[in-house]
Structure formats: C-alpha cells, structure tokens
Amino acid sequence: MSNNLVIFGGDSHPKLVAQICAQLDVQPSKVELGKFSNGETSIAVKSSVREKDVYVIQSGCGHVNDTFMQLLILISACKSASASRVTAVIPYFCYSRQPDIPYTAKGAPIISQRKSSGSASASTPAATPTAGGKTVTTTQRPGADSPFKSLDSAIRSTIQSPTPVRPPPTTVGSSRIPMIPEGGKLNRSGGQQTPQPPSSTSAEAEELFNAQNAGYKLWVVQAGTLIANLLTAAGADHVITMDLHDRQFPGFFDVPVDNLYCKPLVQNYIHHCIPGYRDAVVVSPDAGGAKRATAVADALELSFAMIHKERRSQLLKGPPDATLTSGADIPSKPLLQHNPPPAGAPALHRSGSSSSVSSASSSKFVQTTMIVGDVRGKTCILVDDLVDTSYTITRAAVLLKDQGATAVYAIATHGVFSGDALERIKRSPIDKIVVSNTIPQERTLAVLGKHRVDILDVSRVFGEAIRRIHNGESISMLFEYGW
C-alpha cells in the first residue's frame, strides 16, 4: 500500500478500524481523543498528513452526538493540516433515517394508552394558571406527549375551556329576540324547549369525522441537509457509507457519496449458512423494504412474501351522524365500538390476518396486518436494513410462525438495538438474527448468545473500497459481488 495513505479511527468502533487496517496492511495513525471536564471534545493529531490521502473511520453509534462531533473535529483537523483529500468513512450513517412518527427517548414509537373502564386514573386533570389569576383545568390522556398532538386535539382543548359570557338578548323595537341555549330548540310560538343533550355516539362520530377530514399531519424535522452541510463545512471531500436507510440521502451532499451494499454478504450467508435455502421464502417486514427484499430473492431465485400493514378509518365517508344502517327502519348500529381487551391478553396479537384497534381511547383507525405470499411449511428470511426498537421484526416473526413457518431468520445490516430491543427479540420466535459489524455487537452476543446471533464482517468491503478509491479505480463491482 502507498505511503501516501493515512487512516484515522474514532472511538465509536475501534475493533472495526483495526480490521479495516488489517485488510489494507497498514497501521492506524496516532491520534489522541479525549474530553475536557465540561464535556467538550479534545483531539490532537500525532501524525503528519500534509499532502496525503486521509480516511477517517467513525461509525454513528453509541453516543451519537459525541461521535459525530468527534468526526467533524477530526476531519477539520486533517484539513487544516494541509491534507490533500479527506474521506469520511461512516459504516452506519447516523441521522439518515426519515421518521414519519414521533419516537420516545428510548427509540420506541409513541403509542397512547387505552383508557381502562371505571379507572379513576384514566385521565389526570391539570390546573393551569391564567393571567387573571383563575385556573383552567384540562384533561390529558396518559401516554399522550402533547395536548396539541393533532388538530382535533387542539379543537377539543378549546372546547374544554370555560364557556364565554353570552351577550344579552338583542332587542328590536319592542320585541325581544330570545337567545337559544346550547342543545335547546325554539318552538313555533317562540318559547324555549327543554335542552336536549347530544347522544354520545353522535358526538363521538362527529369527532372522528372531523379528525379524519382535517388533513393535518404531524411535521417531523428532516436533518439530512444540515448533516451534509456540517460534513462538507468541516472539510470532507468524499463520503463512504453502507446501506443508507433513506436512498435520497446522497442528494443532500455536494461531494461524492459512495453507498456500499451489504446485499452480496447477505446472499452469501443465505447460500452457505441456511440449510435448505432453496425452499426458503424471503420476506419483507413492511412495504418500505420490499425493493430490498425482492433484490435478494431475485438474485437467489427464491420466493418472495411481504407483510402488509394498513390503517383504515373506522368511520365511513358521510355526515357525522352516519351509521352502518342509516336510512333503514331497523335499529342502527354505531360505527365505533370499544371492546376492552380480555384480561391477561398477550402484548403481541398472534393472528395470521389480524385487525387491531389503535390504543387511543378515541380510536380513529383499525390496523390490519396480513401476509402477501405463501409461507406455510417453509423457512422465512426477514430482510431489512436496520433494526432499532425491533417492534417490526418481532411482530413479523409472530405472524410468520402463526401462518405455519418452520423457522424464521432475521437479517439486517445495522443492528442498533436501542432500549429493550434485545429483550424483545429474546422473547420472540426468531430462531436466529444476523447483523453486520457496522455497529459493535458485543452486547447482542451477551444477551442473545452466540448460538442465536451471526455477525457479517464488512471490513473487507470497506477495505477494498478504500484501496480502490485511493488508487483511482472503480468500485462498481462491490455493489454486486461484495469482496
């Protein structure tokens, strides 16, 4: 290898840095990584990088913000030291996910709790002081992260505010026009009838109708452009990564981005390590990963299946007081019915084609899960690019086993496993989980055991990519054949 090549490694994955350097037959250059007492990152480069080709290896795992800041400072230090070219090698690219729902601090999706019948703690009133010294009591469901999580929540909050003072009756000449109270009606003689409270079913249906047609979507900030600008401003001339969660992410950069694929390694593992793989079925756990799973299935000439999740509104299109039998002479049946779950029901609903109502007390959607394809009596191979909370693959494994699958393998490029994801996988029917070493997997081996986990080594792919880029060669063969 040329003496013009310099490799630095951050502290996020030192084992992978050593393996990549071993593939290139070079030693990682010396750099001191530390922190000041107040938490600021401290870096001192101990090797000369003047007019050299520098590669900085740092995976976006662990304490993500600290590791990313360390990467930026190390790139800037090399660029300031007159490096000819600085390439950021990021096996797992942090901040590349594009979430469509909010997540908790542990990484789990925010799901509201079902309000138990007859429970005194179903809602907790909170007193909010106002400018006039009075207090307004609002009610917030447990599990809701904000009282204004959606547009209809804001409307309901406004309705719950104190009733404003109504103006006095308007006088026209000598006649007085009576005011109509809420829920009241006027008879033909101008007298007031007894107020009639609206039925609970009609009010609930109206609330769902308004929520369905509001068209409001929760807005989530996309940080792709910001991350790209930070890397290029720090001095990165090139970026190498693997299996970006969002395929549009390279478009945020003004510098070349090489997105390597783990697909050749996955195909090689299926071919050599799964017994009877010819009769296996490649399964996509959701519609978003269908293209990735079909690429693997087509390359190995295997069958393909997909788990389809659909959320449909419980309210049909029509006026707010519509029912399933509107206009008929038979007793009407409301569209919305709340049936409490049976006592001791399991957390994961085992069903081949399951329909589960979302857990909010005023549920607006029914989630239907079904398998598109035949998996009975076959080995199923779940293929995904990233496993974080493991909700998706564990529920997919339950569904596959209930449909008669003999074994379930879960293969993913990046095993993040945040929160209690490993414990969830340990209790799931997944027979074996396969992940790459773009992220350290020592904790995964300790929790699940070596008999249930296989690690794919990506150091050869990254080592060959660095060698080819350094020598000015093409890396297109790595996309199809790996190394």
Confidence band of 246 (pLDDT split at 50, 70, 90): confident
pLDDT in tens, 120-143: 444 444 444 444 444 444 444 444
* DSSP symbols for 289-301: GHHHHHHHHHHHT
Q: Which two tokens stand for residue 162?
A: 């104190």
- One domain, residues 283 and 428: yes
- One domain, residues 294 and 379: yes
C-alpha pair distances (Å), 224 with each of 245, 317, 415, 480: 12, 38, 21, 27
pLDDT above 60 for 364: no
Instruction: Give the three-state DSSP class for 428.
Output: coil
Q: What share of the chain is helix, strand, coil (3-state, %, to 5)?
A: 30, 25, 50
**Is residue 435 within 8 Å of 415, Cβ to Cβ?**
yes
Give 158: exposed, middle or buried? Use CB within 10 Å, 0-12, 13-18, 19+.
exposed
Q: Quick one: pLDDT at residue 104?
A: 53
Q: Residue 432 domain-assigned?
A: yes
Q: Quick one: pLDDT at residue 365?
A: 59
pLDDT in tens, 91-109: 999 988 754 444 555 455 5
- One domain, residues 32 and 67: yes
Compute the residue count for the chain. 483
Q: Residue 126 domain-assigned?
A: no
- One domain, residues 43 and 75: yes
pLDDT in tens, 4-16: 999 999 999 999 9
Average pLDDT value for residue range 345-371 = 52
- One domain, residues 301 and 446: yes
Give 447: exposed, middle or buried? Use CB within 10 Å, 0-12, 13-18, 19+.
middle
C-alpha pair distances (Å), 329 with each of 215, 318, 326: 34, 19, 9
Q: Residue 148 domain-assigned?
A: no
- One domain, residues 233 and 382: no
Task: Look at the pTM and tell me if it is higher than 0.75.
Answer: no
- One domain, residues 423 and 444: yes
Nearest Cα neighbor of 309 from 335, 325, 281, 290 is 290
Q: Residue 166 domain-assigned?
A: no
Q: Residue 214 domain-assigned?
A: no
* DSSP symbols for 354-406: EEEE-SSTT--EEEEEEEES--TTSEEEEEEEEESS-HHHHHHHHHHHHTT-S
- One domain, residues 252 and 278: no
- One domain, residues 243 and 379: no
Query: CATH no. for residue 467?
Result: 3.40.50.2020
Q: Quick one: pLDDT at residue 197?
A: 52
Instruction: Give the three-state DSSP class for 127.
Output: strand
**Is residue 282 within 8 Å of 383, Cβ to Cβ?**
yes
Q: Residue 156 domain-assigned?
A: no
- One domain, residues 400 and 424: yes
* DSSP symbols for 174-236: TEEE----TT--B-TTSPBPPP-PPPHHHHHHHHHHHHHHS---------HHHHHHHHHHHT-
The structure tokens 């400072």 sit at: 73
Residues facing residue 177 across a β-bridge: 170
* Cα dihedral: 327, 328, 330, 333 (round 10): -50
Number of domains in the chain: 2
**Is residue 95 within 8 Å of 221, Cβ to Cβ?**
no
- One domain, residues 416 and 275: yes
Q: Residue 329 domain-assigned?
A: no
Range(s) of the domain holding residue 236: 5-97+221-259+460-481
Q: Residue 212 domain-assigned?
A: no
- One domain, residues 387 and 466: no
